[in-house]
Amino acid sequence: MINTDTGKVIAKVPIGGNCDDGYYDADRKRIYALGANGYISAIQQNDPDHYSLISNIPSTIGVRTGIFFGTSLYVGVPAQGLEPAQVWFYAVPE
């Protein structure tokens, strides 16, 4: 995490691989990072300078794009073998 006013790194939290998309859930003060190594990392903002990993939620290899809307996270799953590309839905718990 970087303070955008100062450019200072304020926290480092390991996530499930490189990602293209990350979303901030202002209601729950969480970040969801879609990692290409097969996990969606849920990170809790404890205060403006402290963050902690809640969980690495299994998805599948190659998932790293999606959209967060309200209490739902939709992720794009690339085609693999005979399986076509898909959109998976994750409900965000309170």
| 13 found inside a domain | no
| 10 found inside a domain | no
| 29 found inside a domain | yes
Whether pTM exceeds 0.85: yes
Distance CA 71, CA 93 (A): 8
Q: What percent of the chain has pLDDT over 90?
A: 68
Q: What local confidence, expressed as pLDDT, does residue 93 receive?
A: 79
| 68 found inside a domain | yes
Q: What local confidence, expressed as pLDDT, does residue 20 receive?
A: 87
Distance CA 27, CA 52 (A): 17
| 34 found inside a domain | yes
| 14 found inside a domain | no
- Section 46-50 average pLDDT: 92
User: How many distinct structural domains can be found in the chain?
Assistant: 1
Residue 61 lies in domain: 19-91
| 24 found inside a domain | yes
| 37 found inside a domain | yes
